[in-house]
Amino acid sequence: MTVMRWLVLASVLASLSACELLKLRDDLEQLYDSVSIISGQVESELKGQAIALLASQSASDGTLTALDYRFPDRSGRFNFQQVQGHYQLFAFLDQNGDFVYQTGEPVARANEPLRQNRLGTDSDAWQINRLQFTTQSTAERLPFNADVSVGGLQQFDRTVRNMGVPVDFNDPRFSAEAIASGMWEPSRWALEVGYGFYLTESWADGSNDRPLLIMVHGINGSPKVFEQLLEKLETAPYRIALYHYPSAMSIDDNAYVLSQIVDELLIRVPGQQYSVLAHSMGGLVAKRFIHMQHRAGNSDALQHFISISVPWLGHKVAETGLEYSPVEVPVWQDIAPSSRFIRLLRTFELPAPIDYTMLFSHEGNSLLQGEPNDGVVALRSQLDPLMQDRAQRLVGVDEDHVGILTHPRTIAAIEQALAEPENQ
């Protein structure tokens, strides 16, 4: 090992106590042992938007209660993530488009016991629960009330616990303690904080009068990193949403949750157009999300993608950490330069209609990295030639990794990109 690599390793592991690493190991083991994936497939001969519902039965009186819901994708697939237990799986066809079940709307029910898949197993090997709607389904009844309109969401204990919640940048969910929890205790983070899709203003189902700008933070971050940028940015033409996720989990997992959110949004708000702005590792989450949307045939609604200081070629510190850490941190596995994730993500080219702006920072050089960088990410990683060639605009900013977010040159570049005609 070179002297420089020893210095990098020392800087990484010195900032982490053995207690933190062991805490993460125990937390991940608990998460994988206690949480299961319930995957389903809706098949229908009838018209209407299918809405899947996962229910549990009260031990005291046998009453069924809906815990969570999903909008299946275009192929009819959906997934629930729940603590292992006994559940029942239903779906109804929302034939009048109000997102509320009414008697007479077709109902389907999966066979019991439900097939459950261990968290962390290959999705290609998941067992699928099938729900089939036929002409006989109109005679079935849901054994509980189901209101998944915006007004009814508070009744559900969802993976995305903070769906559509008004953003408050002083919220304890964005505190340094909560951010650390997302990195070292993700199961605790899921219970106390939870995935979020925060809004700077609320809107009802069906309101698509302005495009949406989705902002995605990086590792060890939260939506608060965008607070000062939003103070400077002209946002009136857009509605703003801020995605919040735990840093420790794999980029695939975090991109998938965002994809589920946007799938639901496009069903609730037909014709909604949106753009994505992502900082640092959030750019990797965002590009994987775009890949998922494109593969599902849903990327037409995406107008602009703006990436800021993204480690497109990974980060050497993650690779060094994996080599010597006693814990296999999922996110480190993804952002290591030699990772399968980085290799596969590079093979995905952004669909041609999407307008892409690439910003990079080149100030704040850290000598520990042994190559030019912005204090956090190497310039070589930010300037992946494949992403440069795809960009309509390439903008360098004389700032460090975080300072770039509020630099006037950045603000001007973002506003210029968002002002471009959609899908030019």
Mean pLDDT of 271-300: 94
Q: pLDDT for 315-327, tens place per residue?
A: 988 887 777 777 8
Mean pLDDT of 152-181: 88
pLDDT > 50? residue 4: no
pTM of the full predicted structure?
0.91
Which helix (H) or strand (E) segment holds residue 244: the answer is strand 239-244
CATH of the domain at 86: 2.60.40.1120
Clarify whether residues 165 and 139 are in a common domain: no
Work out whether strand 239-244 and strand 274-279 pair parallel, antiparallel, or are unpaired: unpaired
Choose the most confident range, by mean pLDDT, from 83-97, 122-136, 146-160: 83-97
What pLDDT, on the 0 to 100 scale, is given for residue 298? 84
Residue indicated by tokens 């054994």: 143
Domain count, the chain: 2
Nearest to 108 by CA among 144, 127, 129, 134: 134
Query: pLDDT grade, residue 93 (50/70/90)?
Result: very high
**How many of the other CB atoms lie within 10 Å of CB of 374?**
26
Which of 121, 144, 167 is the last residue before a domain boundary?
A: 144
Euclidean distance between the first and the last CA atom of the chain, given in angstroms as a whole number: 49
Residue 368, in any domain of the structure: yes
Which of 88, 119, 144 is the last residue before a domain boundary?
A: 144
Clarify whether residues 235 and 104 are in a common domain: no
Greatest extent of the chain over all pairs of C-alpha atoms, in Å: 73
What pLDDT, on the 0 to 100 scale, is given for residue 245? 97
pLDDT > 90? residue 119: no
Q: Which ranges constitute the DSSP H helices of 15-47? A: 18-34
Clarify whether residues 323 and 196 are in a common domain: yes
Bond preceding residue 113 cis, omega within 30 of 0: yes
What pLDDT, on the 0 to 100 scale, is given for residue 163? 87
Clarify whether residues 105 and 232 are in a common domain: no
Residue 21, in any domain of the structure: no
Q: pLDDT for 227-283, tens place per residue?
A: 999 999 998 889 999 999 999 999 999 999 999 999 999 998 888 999 999 999 999
Residue 307, in any domain of the structure: yes
Residue 182, in any domain of the structure: yes
**How many of the other CB atoms lie within 10 Å of CB of 284?**
27
Query: pLDDT grade, residue 10 (50/70/90)?
Result: very low
CATH of the domain at 258: 3.40.50.1820
Residue 300, in any domain of the structure: yes
Clarify whether residues 137 and 220 are in a common domain: no
Clarify whether residues 75 and 196 are in a common domain: no
Cα dist from 252 to 176, 339, 370, whole Å: 24, 13, 29
Asked which of 14-28, 136-150, 215-229 is least confident by mean pLDDT, the reply is 14-28
Tell me the β-bridge partners of 243.
197, 216
What pLDDT, on the 0 to 100 scale, is given for residue 207? 64
Query: Whole domain around residue 46: which residue ranges?
Result: 37-144
pLDDT > 90? residue 133: yes
Query: pLDDT grade, residue 310 (50/70/90)?
Result: very high
Q: How many residues does the chain have?
A: 424
Residue 347, in any domain of the structure: yes
Rounded CA separation 52/87 (Å): 13
Mean pLDDT of 322-337: 86
Angle at 327 between CA 322 and CA 342, to 5 degrees: 40
**How many of the other CB atoms lie within 10 Å of CB of 145?**
11
pLDDT > 60? residue 53: yes
**How many of the other CB atoms lie within 10 Å of CB of 221?**
21
Contact 101, 114 (CB under 8 A): no
**How many of the other CB atoms lie within 10 Å of CB of 366?**
18
The overall average pLDDT reported for the chain is: 89
Rounded CA separation 172/268 (Å): 29
What pLDDT, on the 0 to 100 scale, is given for residue 205? 53
What pLDDT, on the 0 to 100 scale, is given for residue 16? 54
Residue 58, in any domain of the structure: yes
Side-chain half-sphere CA neighbours of 125 within 13 A = 6
Kindly tell me the burial class for residue 285, based on how many C-beta atoms sit within 10 Å of its own C-beta (0-12, 13-18, 19 or more): buried
Residue 154, in any domain of the structure: no
pLDDT > 80? residue 199: yes
